[in-house]
């Protein structure tokens, strides 16, 4: 029974953790990647450094062009799931509404 207590604390911690949905690209109107994380600065740094094998590394997606913050990681995961099913035009509209020039936002979040 005592072995279950730490797991309960972990679940409570996860339910309180905030989350982020973010878009990475290689250039303006380029390839888009939608991700979710609980630590946006760390995760974008990993993408930019090439630490993350897979889609973002293969296509050199190193520019953070959009992100949203959520109170819980569960909300962020649900939002990511919804966005991934959107047409590309909707995703581009979301980026342009918040970041018309498709500037890399990493410097604004890493200070």
The answer to whether position 8 is within a domain reads: no
The answer to whether position 1 is within a domain reads: no
CATH code (residue 76): 3.40.1440.10
Distances (CA, A) of 97 to 21, 28, 42, 53, 92: 16, 14, 25, 30, 9
The answer to whether residue 14 scores a pLDDT higher than 50 is no
pTM equals 0.84
Specify whether the CB–CB gap between 23 and 91 falls below 8 A: yes
When pLDDT is averaged across residues 74-98 and rounded to a whole number, the result is 98
Report the pLDDT value the prediction gives residue 16, as an integer from 0 to 100. 58
The answer to whether residue 10 scores a pLDDT higher than 50 is no
The answer to whether position 10 is within a domain reads: no
The answer to whether residue 2 scores a pLDDT higher than 90 is no
Number of structural domains in the chain: 1
User: Residue 33: in which H helix or E strand, if any?
Assistant: strand 32-37
Residues making up the chain, counted from first to last: 111
User: SS3 of 99, please?
Assistant: coil
Report the pLDDT value the prediction gives residue 25, as an integer from 0 to 100. 98
């Amino acid at each position: 029974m005592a072995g279950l207590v730490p797991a309960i604390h972990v679940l409570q911690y996860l339910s309180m953790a905030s989350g982020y949905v973010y878009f990475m690209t290689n250039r303006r109107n380029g390839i888009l990647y939608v991700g979710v994380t609980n630590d946006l600065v760390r995760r974008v740094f990993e993408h930019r450094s090439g630490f993350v094998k897979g889609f973002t590394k293969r296509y050199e997606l190193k520019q953070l062009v959009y992100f949203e913050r959520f109170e819980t990681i569960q909300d962020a995961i649900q939002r990511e799931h919804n966005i991934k099913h959107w047409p590309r035009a909707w995703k581009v509209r979301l980026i342009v509404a918040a970041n018309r020039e498709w500037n890399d936002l990493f410097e604004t979040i890493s200070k």
